[in-house]
């Protein structure tokens, strides 16, 4: 075997020295405060059995898609699933991608053109950044959730660009916070900009039926495209881009991560539509999660922990603990007490913004929430 290239070894060694070397974790039986399975759908036997029944009713016993959707992989379940998703989200169309990463890379590498400008929040997800890097458009970041900074850049660039795209997340994955969406949508309308919203961490969490933050505020008609990712609240795999029929047609023709990949299997797509139906029919799943988010926020206030946390009403609650070594030490101590809380290290977040990321779920108990925060308080405050 040839020796590993020194340039690559040096990069790994640098990560090791910075205490930021990533390793795949082992499966554990710890109390879950780390996964994105906010509603417990990934573990739902009811959804598992309903998906099997869904396939039997359609006499579908195919294991794989057999090819890309433009060749042989566009099995009939896709049509049913996309129609259901579009109706659920009050959109003209829904186009399923293999993952949220594929959807974001596929959209941003294909839609913004040379001569366009992309204005993106500085904390936008890595998948969006990767898509932007593949685009021929110019891109500029604005300060996180700072609409004054965004407006200044809109005014600066709108006369230079054919089209200006504004890119945000409705719930940010590393902070759990949200922009002022009502003001933001009005600003985009005034400045004639096209708003694109990643709703990965809002689906299943916000709205009466878990439809996401944009739709819960009745702003869906003011957004050019919404990216809904299914690996979080829906507990399955894949994503969909919501928008006009013209946008769907454009993506089918020009989005390389859609065109040049094998489609999802019938079982994967059946799981998506089954999870959506379960979400629509079980509003108690969302209220249970909302109650736990409220309980977590109340408990951190009682314990004097609120100043450590980024303000959030979502299922993502982050306490800033600067320094990779310190945040890893505190996370390890919590894990020793059976709480699966993960540290988020630089360079995933900026240096000095390292954090513990508590993910809340429908199935966490009030006693577990109290216990994990009490232990965290003992570790960081000494009581």
The pLDDT tens digits of the residues spanning 44-74 come to 999 999 999 999 999 999 999 999 999 999 9
Average pLDDT for 185-200 = 98
Average pLDDT for 306-315 = 96
| Cβ(251)–Cβ(95) below 8 Å | yes
Model confidence over 70-94: pLDDT tens digits?
999 999 999 999 999 999 999 999 9
What confidence score (pLDDT) does residue 27 get? 83
Q: In this structure, how many other beta carbons lie within 10 angstroms of the beta carbon of residue 269? A: 28
Average pLDDT for 290-304 = 97
For 94-106, letters b (16+ CB in 10 Å) and e give bbbbbbbbbbbbb
Q: How confident is the model at residue 28 (pLDDT cuts 50, 70, 90)?
A: confident
Q: What CA–CA distance (Å, rounded) separates 32 from 23?
A: 19
Alpha-carbon separation of residue 7 from 12, 13, 14, 17 (angstroms): 9, 10, 11, 15
What confidence score (pLDDT) does residue 158 get? 87
Model confidence over 322-381: pLDDT tens digits?
999 999 999 999 999 999 999 999 988 999 999 999 999 999 999 999 999 999 999 998
Q: What CA–CA distance (Å, rounded) separates 116 from 328?
A: 42
State percent of the chain over pLDDT 90. 94
What confidence score (pLDDT) does residue 383 get? 67
Query: What are the backbone dihedrals phi and psi of residue 144, each rounded to the nearest 5 degrees, phi first?
Result: -55, 120
Q: Is the pLDDT of residue 123 over 80?
A: yes
What confidence score (pLDDT) does residue 373 get? 98
Q: What is the mean pLDDT of the chain?
A: 96
Is the Cα torsion angle 89, 93, 98, 101 positive or negative in sign? Answer: negative
What confidence score (pLDDT) does residue 160 get? 85
Report pTM.
Answer: 0.95
Q: How confident is the model at residue 105 (pLDDT cuts 50, 70, 90)?
A: very high
Average pLDDT for 201-229 = 97
Q: Is the pLDDT of residue 21 over 70?
A: yes
Residue 222 CA, chain-centre distance (Å), reads 21
Whether residue 347 has a cis bond before it, omega within 30° of 0: yes
* Three-state DSSP class for residue 162: coil
């Amino acid at each position: 075997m040839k020796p590993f290239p020194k340039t690559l070894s040096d990069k790994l060694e640098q990560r090791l020295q910075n205490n930021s070397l990533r390793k795949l974790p082992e499966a554990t039986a710890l109390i879950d405060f780390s996964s994105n399975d906010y509603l417990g759908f990934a573990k739902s036997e009811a959804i598992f059995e309903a998906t099997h029944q869904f396939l039997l009713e359609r006499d579908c016993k195919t294991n794989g898609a057999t090819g890309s959707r433009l060749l042989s992989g566009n099995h009939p379940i896709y049509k049913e699933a996309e129609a259901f998703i579009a109706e659920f989200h009050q959109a003209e169309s829904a186009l399923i991608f293999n993952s949220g990463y594929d959807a974001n890379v596929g959209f941003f590498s294909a839609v913004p053109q040379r001569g366009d400008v992309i204005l993106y929040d500085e904390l936008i997800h890595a998948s969006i950044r990767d898509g932007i890097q593949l685009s021929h458009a110019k891109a500029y970041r604005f300060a996180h959730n700072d609409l004054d900074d965004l407006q200044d850049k809109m005014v600066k660039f709108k006369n230079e660009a054919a089209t200006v795209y504004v890119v945000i997340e409705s719930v940010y994955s590393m902070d759990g916070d949200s922009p002022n969406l009502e003001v933001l949508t009005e600003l985009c309308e005034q400045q004639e900009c096209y708003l694109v919203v990643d709703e990965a961490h809002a689906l299943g969490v916000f709205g009466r039926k878990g439809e996401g933050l944009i739709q819960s505020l009745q702003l869906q008609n003011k957004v050019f495209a919404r990216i809904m990712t299914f690996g979080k609240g829906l507990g399955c795999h894949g994503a969909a881009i919501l928008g006009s029929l013209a946008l769907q047609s454009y993506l089918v023709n020009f989005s390389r991560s859609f065109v040049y990949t094998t489609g999802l299997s019938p079982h994967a797509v059946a799981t998506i539509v089954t999870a959506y139906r379960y979400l629509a029919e079980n509003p108690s799943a969302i209220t249970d999660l909302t109650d736990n988010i409220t309980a977590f926020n109340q408990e951190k206030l009682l314990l004097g922990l609120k100043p450590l946390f980024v303000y959030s009403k979502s299922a993502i609650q982050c306490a800033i603990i600067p320094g990779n070594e310190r945040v890893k030490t505190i996370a390890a101590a919590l894990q020793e007490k059976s709480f699966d809380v993960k540290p988020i290290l630089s360079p995933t977040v900026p240096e000095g913004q390292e954090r513990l990321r508590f993910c809340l779920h429908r199935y966490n108990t009030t006693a577990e929430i109290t216990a994990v925060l009490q232990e965290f308080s003992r570790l960081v405050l000494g009581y």
